[in-house]
Structure 1
Amino acid sequence: MEQPPLASLSLTHVHYNPYDRVSYLCAWLALVPQALCITYATLIWSTREVEILLMFVGQMGCEAFNWLLKRYIKEERPRQMNGKGYGMPSSHAQFLAFFSVSLTLFLLFRHNPSSSPDHLHNHPIPFLHRVLLSLGAVGAAAAVAGSRIYLNYHTPRQVLVGCAAGAITAVAWFIVTEYLRRAGWVSWALDNEWARWARMRDLVVSEDLADAGWARWEGRRIKRSAAGSGEMANGNRKTR
């Protein structure tokens, strides 16, 4: 019996010009959505933060929206492109637009460390730094979107529509999650037995982004240092 023809897993199969360094960089930028999915999964597992889970749910909803748009519009990719599937709108541009806008909305409007009962012990990222971080995320999204045009995977119009769809979806999802928070649905879900079993929490909204137990570690370190200094002092007294 003849063996069936082998197929290519196109998840990371990117065409680029090996003699063009910009094209090579663009090929790596094409992997950013996959890297972000891994980051989402890692952060959800390690932090158990419901805010990250909500953002990931919205991200997957944005992907589903892109799937529907492509099959409704049915616009082909550029003629010089060898890729498969429809090109309108660009899924990469839409994915990164949703991520960058969602992160920006969180950092500038939802993240409020001063609302924590322990805010005096927090060292929150200054607002200016959060603005710069947001601009960095938007810049990264623009680089990925531009790479899709450079590699001829999409036309400029397909990329622009993708960016618009991602941004609109991000704003809509932010409004939905804000309602869920204000109406108490997020608190209700976190009190659920399954959420408690999974140890889900909601601290990143009101605590330092980089804390991750840092205050507790500093407290233990100071106690250990004090204990070590006390033992050394007792030892010196005994030798006398």
Structure 2
Amino acid sequence: MSDDLAPLASLSLTHVHYDPTDPLSYLCAWLALVPQGLCVVYATLIWSTREAEVALLFAGQLACEALNFALKRLIKEERPRRMNGRGYGMPSSHAQFVAYFAVSIALFLLFRHQPPHPRVRRRNHTPMGLPERAAWSALGLAAAAAVAWSRVYLNYHTEKQVFVGAAAGTVSAVGWFLVTTVVRRSGWLAWALENPVARFLRVRDLVVEEDLCQAGWEKWDDKMTALKAKDKKKR
């Protein structure tokens, strides 16, 4: 075998540079993979739940990524001098991605999600009250802030690039929330859900009023209750 081997290349989608002697740098390397993980979450939820709200959220996420692509090539600002990445750095795509996701989830939980009152228990399930939804929203925003900060710590972006990315993601989330609100109130979403293709794919819009797992849980609870009643009769 020849000794003149071609140098290996790394897959930029998942390859992250970090300092192996610094535990915090190692943690930041994992935080850098959050957007890829969220894409898997999107795909899984869309396929498994067929919820219109999840699909709309993902559509806005794709639009947010397209905006980031355009802004980087319009601004053309380089990354930090001692950088650990390629391409333009303004605005940070990681910061924009997670800011859009976290703000969108917070807007949904605080303003769109309308579950039954927490005192109303349905099949051993207590809907989330406003304090719990606010806590989850705060947790999501804190996680997004950690991902954005990790980009500066790993020297992929400057503070300004991360701030602008987070601002662009926030504006995108608020703007898309308003657009989808109009789509809902105008009846366009209800019309789209009655489309033969949507019905064939079993697209539904339940998550606004109930948790993702609740409908399936009720069917399971009915089945188990029926089985227990059947066993009771046999005895």
TM above 0.5, yes or no, is: yes
Give the partner amino acid of 1:38.
Answer: V
**How far does the alpha carbon of each residue in 1:164-193 deviate from its partner, in whole angstroms, 9 at most, with x for none?**
000000000000000000001101111111
State the match for 2:180 in structure 1: 177
Give the partner amino acid of 1:208.
Answer: D
Instruction: Tell me, yes or no, if structure 1 residue 108 matches structure 2 residue 114.
Output: no
Q: In percent, how many aligned pairs have the same letter? A: 60
State the match for 1:125 in structure 2: 128
Q: Is contact 1:123-1:208 (8 Å) kept?
A: no
Aligned residues: 228
Q: Which moved more, 1:161-170 or 1:221-230?
A: 221-230
Q: 1:152 aligns with which of 155, 170, 176?
A: 155
Q: CA deviation at 1:30?
A: 0.4
Q: Is contact 2:28-2:154 (8 Å) kept?
A: yes
Closer/same/farther in 2, CA of residues 19 and 3 from structure 1, 3 Å limit: closer
The DSSP-based 3-state class of the residue aligned with 1:213 is helix
Q: CA deviation at 1:7?
A: 4.1
> Map of 1:26-105 to 2, 5 A cutoff?
26-105=28-107
Query: In structure 2, how many angstroms separate the alpha carbons of the residues matched to 1:207 and 1:222?
Result: 22
**How far does the alpha carbon of each residue in 1:7-59 deviate from its partner, in whole angstroms, 9 at most, with x for none?**
43200111100000000000000000000000000000000000000000000
Query: In structure 1, how many angstroms separate the alpha carbons of the residues matched to 2:150 and 2:9?
Result: 26
Query: In structure 2, how many angstroms separate the alpha carbons of the residues matched to 1:30 and 1:208?
Result: 29
Give the partner amino acid of 1:141.
Answer: A
Q: 2:210 aligns with which of 195, 207, 210?
A: 207
Q: CA deviation at 1:208?
A: 2.6
The two structures, once aligned, show a CA RMSD in angstroms of 1.8
Q: 1:224 aligns with which of 208, 224, 227?
A: 227
Q: Is contact 1:125-1:209 (8 Å) kept?
A: no
Give the partner amino acid of 1:100.
Answer: A
Q: CA deviation at 1:6?
A: 5.3
Using structure 1 for the length normalisation, give the TM-score. Answer: 0.90
Q: Which moved more, 1:211-220 or 1:4-13?
A: 4-13
The DSSP-based 3-state class of the residue aligned with 1:112 is coil
Closer/same/farther in 2, CA of residues 45 and 226 from structure 1, 3 Å limit: same
Q: Is contact 1:66-1:89 (8 Å) kept?
A: yes
Give the partner amino acid of 2:207.
Answer: V
Q: CA deviation at 1:5?
A: 6.5
Q: CA deviation at 1:82?
A: 3.5
Q: Which moved more, 1:4-13 or 1:194-203?
A: 4-13
Query: In structure 2, how many angstroms separate the alpha carbons of the residues matched to 1:189 and 1:4?
Result: 53
